[in-house]
A and B are shown apart, each in its own frame.
Chain A
Amino acid sequence: MTQNGGAPKDTQVGLTLNGRELKVEKDRLLIDVAEEVGIFVPRFCYHPGMKSVAVCRMCLVKVEGSPKLLPACATPVTDGMVVDTVDETAVDAQRGMLEFLLINHPLDCPICDRAGECPLQDQTYAHGPGSTRYVEPKRTYEKALEISELVVLDRERCVLCWRCVRFADEIAGDRFIQLVDRGPGTQILTFSDEPFDSYFSGNTIQICPVGALTSKPYRFVSRPWDLQTAPSVCTYCSVGCPLTNESRDEKIVRCQALPNENVNDFWLCDKGRYGYHHVESAERLGSPLVRSGKEFEPASWGAAVDKIVSAIKDKRRIGVIAGGHLTTEDAYAIGKLAKKVLETKDVDSRIQDAGAPYERALALGGIAGSTATLNDVEGAPEILWVGPDPKETLPVLYLRLRKAVNDGGARLTVVSPRATSLDVIAAKVVRCEAGGEGRALREIDDLGDDAVVCWGQSSPGRDETDAFDAAVAASQASGGKLLVCVPHAGSQGMLDMGVHPGLDAGYVEVAEPGRDTRAILEAAAAGELDALFLFGADPIADFPDAGLARRALEKGIFTVAVELFPTQSAMRADVVLPSAAYAEREGTFTNLERRVQKLERLVAPPGTAQEPWKTCAAIAGALGDAWGWARCDDVWDDIRRNVPTHKDLDLALLTQEAPAHAPFYESAFGDVQTHTMDPPALTVAGPGGQYPKGYRSGAPFQTGQNWPLSWELRAFEAKQRPGVIPHPNGSANGHGAAPAGAPDAPDAAPRAAEGGDDFVLLSGRLIYDEGSMVSRSKALGNIASGGYAELNPGDAADLEVSAGDRVVLRGAGAEVTLPVRIGDIAKGAVYVPYDQRDVKANTLMSGVDSRVGVAKA
């Protein structure tokens, strides 16, 4: 390569690529630079989300001055470089590599799930030889090894690109899948008897460039060209990973990550990827139900709404509780119904996170939520984490934190009363006492400038105002930003849209806050309410005082539940209205960084189930307030007119029907396209390939023609759908520190008082639990680990128990026996996972900051 004399003045370098003069950022990889200008260099091992290894040798290109061909995936651009990707020697090498990869490939495409979207197949169809010169027996392995509950491995199909191994090692940090043996006997395997039990295992299937790793739930279910696809957003946690749902015959059969470097990079957790079966669950509600005595009877929507209207007309003592999995539009409708139509201020959306003091973040910049984006976290020099274990609760955020530390060199400090998955990558771990997070945060004196402080609720049912205030103060002191980790996909939307006793939509603080969730339930239990509305809310399962929730719902107050499933709470209501699930509807989710992203409808809801915003509008209409909403866009227009933070947020930005430019690729093979910088009017993808028309709405992918792999198409599409972060209305809120809706005084709550009441009860969700959606997603059904009681080794010794022994926990009048785990947890605390099949931790809780008795069973 020819090097220009002096170093370039700026960070740009000039190179010649297939005869074109280009100016690009220096040190970028040739393969990326080429792709950006529409030159596709074939590849198997290279993946933009991981470090290059240059093992498949498919992307060899000619670089002037280099005696050998160079792998484009591992060659940074340098000034004066002259590159030819379609040089005869490069094409010959690429053809040769394809032939090598095929000699031992079983060519079982007719029974391979990957066929139709397989890079190896595509490249072979387009450019490979029609027959083989290899006449000897192929290498064989035992086929279809189930290496986990979700992943099936076929080593014969493997091209040993290492993508799965690199993902597991580099990205997820779960080194459960590895290269074994060497030479032609090299194979991908798990370690002896250990399964591939990673929370992120599904990603390896999506990035596998052949059918070596396939998905157990999707095996032999469909051909990719028979799939309808629609972009959506994960409905579980608040990271809000973009994904595509894919259906066949009106049934969702697969879900894949929609890469977006702002949010999820290229990844999903397995809960997000496999948690879609709840949509088709037989338990789904398909018709309104109206109570008649002890039984429910199906009713028409008209009859159900009439029943509600007659029950609440002229009643003003109404409580409204919304769950965390509803869309921003639902949130707006719920807030509007409650505050404008029902004229109540007793509205809240915090259930598991009851009392979480999000509004105290207003002091930082007028936002009840994060001032940091996920990109800010990844680029931060310092990160301070105080909150739950993100690997369990916010899995893809965990991946981005790992990236921030491992690639970005961020210095991570973790403050927690209990070991978290972050500890191993943290520069500093502060093991505070239970409830001592705030003090521990204030004692940290080595936090540098521009730190991103991440706060999440460590344990349901605890007053974490002190920790929150300390986190806000720490971020202020460091001149950095704050990431507020709300729990669920819809939680931030609820805060933004004013489903909060102290905030109206757009973070407008109200003078006299209403009741929060705990107060609403207490009022209900005391018979001080006329009616209770539950929107996607199951307080008996989720509220950190199951007894109180049960008393509230069994008091006989007129209760309306809008739900997907007959939950414990819904079955105690008077009217149950069916809701559409996330894949059955349009709308937006607002994630924890307040990015608004669009869901699109793929399948039809069961029966007459509908979006909760429609239900709100119907109830409002019946009460005499017609909102005139017919489509999701109407709700959004209303939001833009009335919510100051969202007034500039054009939904069209999120709903681009098709990319402005589909990628236009030239490559070394086949019909080499004429060199041009401007994409032609009829866009093509890959050599001679038709860009799959209507690929988003479900028309088939073009087998053997579109070189850019399906995930690459999606990456391209994601660039068109980045999501939008609304600007807070600077003038709408001062920097007043006075929080609205302050939580109840902790000492007001009754304490469990049964013998040995001496342990602080810590809880928190594991990735797989008894949540109403995940527990009905059959692919994940066998994975949940079940309950346990985690104790400090010293406490365990005092109790004379060791790992595996059983202990009895007594609290809130309930008693449960659990196996003991010894862990790195603060002394005097016991951890019980939230909402597991064999133990509902919230049944042991009463009031704030519950304590439990622990004794040897």
Chain B
Amino acid sequence: MSPVSGRPRGEVRIVTRRMREYPEDSWTLSRALDDGGYEASRKVVTQMTADDTIELVKSSGLRGRGGAGFPTGMKWSFVPKDVFPKYVVINHDEGEPGTFKDRELAELDPHALIEGITIACWANQANKAFIYCRGEFALGSRRMDRAIREAYEKGFLGDGIYGSKFDLDIILHRGAGAYICGEESALLDSLEGFRGQPRLRPPYPAVKGLYAQPTVVNNTETLMALPAIIDKGADWYRKWGTEKSPGTKVFSVSGHVKEPGNYEAPLAMPLSEVLELAGGMRDGSEFKAVIPGGASAPLLTDLSVPMDFESLKDAGTMLGSGAIVFMDQTTCMVRNALVTTEFFEHESCGKCTPCREGTWWGVKVLERIEHGEGRPEDMDLLLDICDGIDGRAFCPLGDAASWALRSNVKLFRDEFEAHVSEGRCIFDGEHKQLVGARARGDEMEGGS
């Protein structure tokens, strides 16, 4: 049952290596040190220049693992060299429904994160880093807190780390429960103590971010890939994945599969193989649809699509955070659309009109359809609402809400129409047991 019991075929462990090899104590300092931890960060600080570090990361082709997939080295190169202080902010506000990779990574290997942060700070010559940790991550924040204190004691953090003249402080900050704070500029506002709402850009964070200073915002998984890249080189990292999407990705696999969990695999692995990593569909389940990259990503019904940035984009969806939710024949897609849209409505910050009002309206219409009060024109209305949000919202949250909703309506229009024509949820009878609480319209939490 446990994914750590043995390595599934096809899994490649780079970011997850230590935690999978030493599940009993991977998060401790002694294990990290025995396992060669802090060598990569020591190497960059004592032997490499900042520019060389950036070049190495650039040539590795590493792309942001938070969702947008922006090349990490290029992001760093946008930071002005001569403006101080600079900050590195770690986006550990993992809130995308279906995503639980950063949570496990930080819980099980916080020292690797600190090492990755050190490398990023050195590359950008930033003396302060802030970990913006999702508020609900109690265990992870405790382990990170402890790991940071241990790193200070060892001289890996603080003044003159590794005996160099480079100072580095890490501040751990726990958020207060808003999905929007995973959007980098809203995260910065929240970190500064304001309402978490996205900022108008330009200026971009690289130029004016936290406290109006140059700021790099990177995802936890992205930074945790750095020690191995420093250690083994860019070419080694490029052994996996594709030219444009090199390396590995931690996929959070959930839904109607046998063994849900985090699986690290090379980018461009076909969806069908990722499904195999998780043991395949549950007994009795037939594959129906999959969310390939978190709740924001449009659905797919084709399992042959390779899981990399380009292929998924070509398929009309996105890799996003790498959260894969497999759904079987018992899933009501109207309810899926409703639950997803409710999530975005609840998490909309309310700043811009289309996201605030569009998600509200979408939920209202979906509720009617699900409860048998749909009208034939509602499907087109839903698509109009999506068009009204998409590309017009202030930040990608609104866009994401529209993508998810639109793909449900477009791919499963017949199911929506059946709800309308039959005046009820067509899944209510046959699969009532399986669907359980959801069929009764009980409140449910986002995420699987």
Interface residues of A in 113-151 (CB under 8 A from B): 133-134, 136, 139
* B350 near A56: Cβ-Cβ < 8 Å: no
The verdict on A293 contacting chain B, using a C-beta distance below 8 Å, is: no
The CA of A101 and the CA of B393, in the complex, are separated in Å by 14
The CA of A99 and the CA of B354, in the complex, are separated in Å by 10
Determine the chain A residues whose CB is within 8 A of the CB of B358 once the complex forms. Answer: 100
* A100 near B357: Cβ-Cβ < 8 Å: yes
The CA of A247 and the CA of B349, in the complex, are separated in Å by 42
Closest to B360 in A: A184
The segment from B27-35, B225-233, B340-348 found at the interface with A is B340-348
A96 in complex: contacting residue of B352, B354, B359, B368, CB < 8 Å: B354
A57 in complex: contacting residue of B178, B384, B392, CB < 8 Å: B392
Determine the chain B residues whose CB is within 8 A of the CB of A185 once the complex forms. Answer: 350
The CA of A160 and the CA of B200, in the complex, are separated in Å by 17
The verdict on B155 contacting chain A, using a C-beta distance below 8 Å, is: no
* A97 near B364: Cβ-Cβ < 8 Å: no
* B388 near A96: Cβ-Cβ < 8 Å: yes
A100 in complex: contacting residue of B178, B195, B349, B361, CB < 8 Å: B361
* B393 near A184: Cβ-Cβ < 8 Å: no
Main SS at interface, chain A: loop
The verdict on A623 contacting chain B, using a C-beta distance below 8 Å, is: no
The CA of A58 and the CA of B391, in the complex, are separated in Å by 13
Closest to B351 in A: A55
CB distance from B342 to the nearest CB of A (A): 11
Q: Binary interface profile of A, 179-214, with partner B (CB < 8 Å = 1, else 0)?
A: 101111110000000000000000000000000000
CB distance from B70 to the nearest CB of A (A): 16
Determine the chain A residues whose CB is within 8 A of the CB of B388 once the complex forms. Answer: 93, 96-97, 99-100
Q: A54-B200, A96-B392 are in contact. Are A104 and B360 (CB under 8 A)?
A: yes
* A160 near B356: Cβ-Cβ < 8 Å: yes
* A58 near B359: Cβ-Cβ < 8 Å: no
Determine the chain B residues whose CB is within 8 A of the CB of A58 once the complex forms. Answer: 353
Determine the chain B residues whose CB is within 8 A of the CB of A68 once the complex forms. Answer: 391-392
The CA of A74 and the CA of B359, in the complex, are separated in Å by 24
* B345 near A100: Cβ-Cβ < 8 Å: no
* B350 near A183: Cβ-Cβ < 8 Å: yes
CB distance from B88 to the nearest CB of A (A): 28
The verdict on A60 contacting chain B, using a C-beta distance below 8 Å, is: yes
Indicate the member of A56, A57, A179 with the most B CB atoms within 10 Å.
A57
The CA of A582 and the CA of B345, in the complex, are separated in Å by 53
* A60 near B178: Cβ-Cβ < 8 Å: no
* B392 near A69: Cβ-Cβ < 8 Å: yes
Closest to A97 in B: B353
Interface residues of B in 321-371 (CB under 8 A from A): 345-354, 356-361, 364-365, 368
Q: A160-B356, A181-B350, A184-B348 are in contact. Are A96 and B387 (CB under 8 A)?
A: yes
Q: Binary interface profile of A, 47-63, with partner B (CB < 8 Å = 1, else 0)?
A: 00000111111101000
Closest to A60 in B: B392
* B391 near A55: Cβ-Cβ < 8 Å: no
B357 in complex: contacting residue of A52, A74, A184, CB < 8 Å: A184
Determine the chain A residues whose CB is within 8 A of the CB of B353 once the complex forms. Answer: 55-58, 97, 100-101, 159-160
Q: Binary interface profile of B, 367-386, with partner A (CB < 8 Å = 1, else 0)?
A: 01000000000000100100
The CA of A103 and the CA of B389, in the complex, are separated in Å by 14
The verdict on B137 contacting chain A, using a C-beta distance below 8 Å, is: no
The CA of A181 and the CA of B348, in the complex, are separated in Å by 11
* B352 near A55: Cβ-Cβ < 8 Å: yes
* B357 near A101: Cβ-Cβ < 8 Å: yes
* A183 near B352: Cβ-Cβ < 8 Å: no
The CA of A521 and the CA of B178, in the complex, are separated in Å by 69
The verdict on B394 contacting chain A, using a C-beta distance below 8 Å, is: yes
Closest to B393 in A: A57
A69 in complex: contacting residue of B195, B359, B384, B391, CB < 8 Å: B391
- What number of residue pairs across chains A and B have CB atoms under 8 A from each other? 92
A104 in complex: contacting residue of B348, B357, B391, CB < 8 Å: B357
CB distance from B430 to the nearest CB of A (A): 29
The CA of A493 and the CA of B105, in the complex, are separated in Å by 74
The CA of A526 and the CA of B345, in the complex, are separated in Å by 80
A133 in complex: contacting residue of B348, B368, B381, B393, CB < 8 Å: B381
CB distance from A769 to the nearest CB of B (A): 37
Determine the chain A residues whose CB is within 8 A of the CB of B356 once the complex forms. Answer: 160, 183-184, 186
Q: Binary interface profile of A, 767-798, with partner B (CB < 8 Å = 1, else 0)?
A: 00000000000000000000000000000000
Closest to A187 in B: B350
* B359 near A93: Cβ-Cβ < 8 Å: no
CB distance from B448 to the nearest CB of A (A): 22
* B350 near A139: Cβ-Cβ < 8 Å: no
Closest to B196 in A: A182
Determine the chain A residues whose CB is within 8 A of the CB of B359 once the complex forms. Answer: 183-184
Q: Binary interface profile of B, 51-92, with partner A (CB < 8 Å = 1, else 0)?
A: 000000000000000000000000000000000000000000
Determine the chain A residues whose CB is within 8 A of the CB of B350 once the complex forms. Answer: 160, 179, 181-186
Determine the chain A residues whose CB is within 8 A of the CB of B180 once the complex forms. Answer: 182
* B352 near A52: Cβ-Cβ < 8 Å: no
* A53 near B200: Cβ-Cβ < 8 Å: yes
Determine the chain A residues whose CB is within 8 A of the CB of B381 once the complex forms. Answer: 133
Closest to B199 in A: A53
Q: Binary interface profile of B, 391-402, with partner A (CB < 8 Å = 1, else 0)?
A: 111100000000
A97 in complex: contacting residue of B347, B348, B391, B392, CB < 8 Å: B392
Determine the chain B residues whose CB is within 8 A of the CB of A69 once the complex forms. Answer: 391-392
Q: Binary interface profile of B, 222-262, with partner A (CB < 8 Å = 1, else 0)?
A: 00000000000000000000000000000000000000000
* B361 near A183: Cβ-Cβ < 8 Å: no
Closest to A183 in B: B348
* A183 near B195: Cβ-Cβ < 8 Å: no
* B387 near A182: Cβ-Cβ < 8 Å: no
B354 in complex: contacting residue of A57, A134, A136, A182, CB < 8 Å: A57
Determine the chain A residues whose CB is within 8 A of the CB of B368 once the complex forms. Answer: 136
Q: A52-B200, A54-B200, A182-B349 are in contact. Are A103 and B361 (CB under 8 A)?
A: yes
Q: A57-B392, A96-B388 are in contact. Are A183 and B354 (CB under 8 A)?
A: no
The CA of A182 and the CA of B387, in the complex, are separated in Å by 23
The CA of A57 and the CA of B394, in the complex, are separated in Å by 8
Determine the chain A residues whose CB is within 8 A of the CB of B394 once the complex forms. Answer: 54-55, 57
The CA of A159 and the CA of B350, in the complex, are separated in Å by 11
CB distance from B170 to the nearest CB of A (A): 29
The CA of A160 and the CA of B353, in the complex, are separated in Å by 8
Indicate the member of A99, A134, A184 with the most B CB atoms within 10 Å.
A184
CB distance from A670 to the nearest CB of B (A): 20
Determine the chain B residues whose CB is within 8 A of the CB of A136 once the complex forms. Answer: 361, 364-365, 368
The CA of A96 and the CA of B389, in the complex, are separated in Å by 9
Determine the chain A residues whose CB is within 8 A of the CB of B354 once the complex forms. Answer: 57, 96-97, 100
CB distance from B341 to the nearest CB of A (A): 12
CB distance from B372 to the nearest CB of A (A): 15
Q: A60-B392, A100-B361, A101-B357 are in contact. Are A183 and B200 (CB under 8 A)?
A: no
CB distance from B433 to the nearest CB of A (A): 31
Closest to B347 in A: A183
Closest to B365 in A: A136
Determine the chain B residues whose CB is within 8 A of the CB of A53 once the complex forms. Answer: 200
The CA of A184 and the CA of B352, in the complex, are separated in Å by 10
Closest to B349 in A: A182
Indicate the member of B346, B352, B353, B392 with the most A CB atoms within 10 Å.
B353
Determine the chain B residues whose CB is within 8 A of the CB of A67 once the complex forms. Answer: 391
**Subset of 7 A-B contacts with CB under 8 Å:** A55-B352, A58-B353, A60-B392, A69-B392, A97-B354, A100-B361, A184-B348
Given contacts A54-B200, A56-B352, 19 further A-B contacts (CB under 8 A): A52-B200, A55-B351, A55-B353, A55-B394, A57-B393, A74-B200, A93-B388, A93-B392, A96-B388, A99-B388, A104-B357, A134-B364, A136-B368, A139-B360, A159-B353, A184-B345, A184-B356, A184-B359, A186-B356
The 6 closest A-B pairs by CB, nearest first: A186-B350, A100-B357, A96-B388, A184-B360, A136-B364, A183-B348
Residue ranges of A at the interface with B (Cβ–Cβ < 8 Å): 52-58, 60, 67-69, 74, 93, 96-97, 99-101, 103-104, 133-134, 136, 139, 159-160, 179, 181-186
